[in-house]
Amino acid sequence: MENKKQLSPEGISEPESYYFELQASWGLTKHMGGLNATRELIELCYIDKDSYVLDVGCGVGITACHITKEYGCKVVGIDLSEMMVKRSKERAKRKGVEDKVEFRVGDAQDLPFNDGVFDAVICESVVAFPKDKQKVVSEYARVTKPGGYVGMNEVTWIKTPPPELVEYLSHAMANVEFLTSDGWKELLEGSGLTDIVVRTYKTNALSQWINEIRELDFRDYSRAWYRFLPMYIKSPALRSWIKEIWLPPKSVFHIFKYFGYGIYVGRK
Ligand SMILES: C[S@@+](CC[C@H](N)C(=O)[O-])C[C@H]1O[C@@H](n2cnc3c(N)ncnc32)[C@H](O)[C@@H]1O
């Protein structure tokens, strides 16, 4: 392990973390539906200037900085990856919101907060990754104040996918496991949340690509190549992972036939 770490300038160490570490290095994390979906989540969780908000799996801090800037409220972003947290802090500084938004490393499965602290706990494309999804959503409910909201945006199967597609995505995307809208809804119900709202959407490659370009920080992106190339050259494990995901099953080219995204909100 230590050996592998030395191969990478920014600490890429295990195949499961390549997906996130490369995204952090590119300065871009994503969720389906882009800013429009984020706005919908904010609205359904009744976030305003007085809210205290937790953004779990904050990635490079795009949503946390956006909420702080637009609504003027206090936001905490946490992420499992140290590099994501570093990128988030850099973003907050660039956006001039570092006094209102705080970023720290933390695990969604064991949130480092007392019970009933936040008015809203949100996450975008996060619960799909940890194994114990019910534990994660129960943690969200635990740290939410009575009367507060838990809101998630998660990739959602809208048609049964071929098994090879499920397997490919899991390997390429850090053991990801998507659910149907019923599956996501059951997690909110299983955490004792009420007044549940479920909205599912289809999307397509073009609109996803446009969302990503809009949110991309071009300085981060160009710097990423300088970070990525030495990692690629020095790490055989990274090269072999890239080679494997380079040849996807044919169903990947029709992926939007099988999945879209859903906004899922419940009240404590
Ligand atoms: C697909 S990215 C989405 C990031 C961000 N929410 C966005 O919309 O841009 C998923 C994020 O969840 C984080 N993550 C995965 N598992 C986690 C866990 N157990 N606890 C906290 N964060 C986690 C990853 O490090 C990554 O930053």
Strands 144-157 and 74-79: unpaired
User: What was the pLDDT predicted at 9?
Assistant: 37
Q: 179 has which bridge partners?
A: 156
Nearest in space to 55 (alpha carbons), one of 111, 134, 135: 111
- Domain residue extents for the chain: 30-222+241-267
Report the C-alpha gap between 194 and 174 in whole angstroms: 31
Topology of domain 30-222+241-267, per CATH? Rossmann fold (3.40.50)
pLDDT at 231: 77
Please tell me the predicted confidence (pLDDT) of residue 27: 76
Residue 11 pLDDT: 43
Atom nearest to 84 CA in ligand 1: 27
Kindly report the protein residue whose alpha carbon is nearest to atom 7 of ligand 1.
Answer: 30
Q: Are 106 and 86 in contact (CB under 8 A)?
A: no
**Rounded-to-integer distance, Cα 140 and Cα 159, Å:** 28
Q: Is 81 in the pocket of ligand 1 (CB under 6 A)?
A: yes
pLDDT in tens, the chain (268 residues): 333 333 333 444 465 677 887 788 777 788 999 999 999 999 999 999 999 999 999 999 999 999 999 999 999 999 999 989 999 999 999 999 999 999 999 999 999 999 999 999 999 999 999 999 999 999 999 999 999 999 999 999 999 999 999 999 998 888 899 999 999 999 999 999 999 999 999 998 888 888 777 776 677 667 777 777 887 888 887 888 888 888 888 888 889 999 999 999 999 9
- Global pTM value: 0.90
Ligand 1 center–CA 163 separation, angstroms: 24
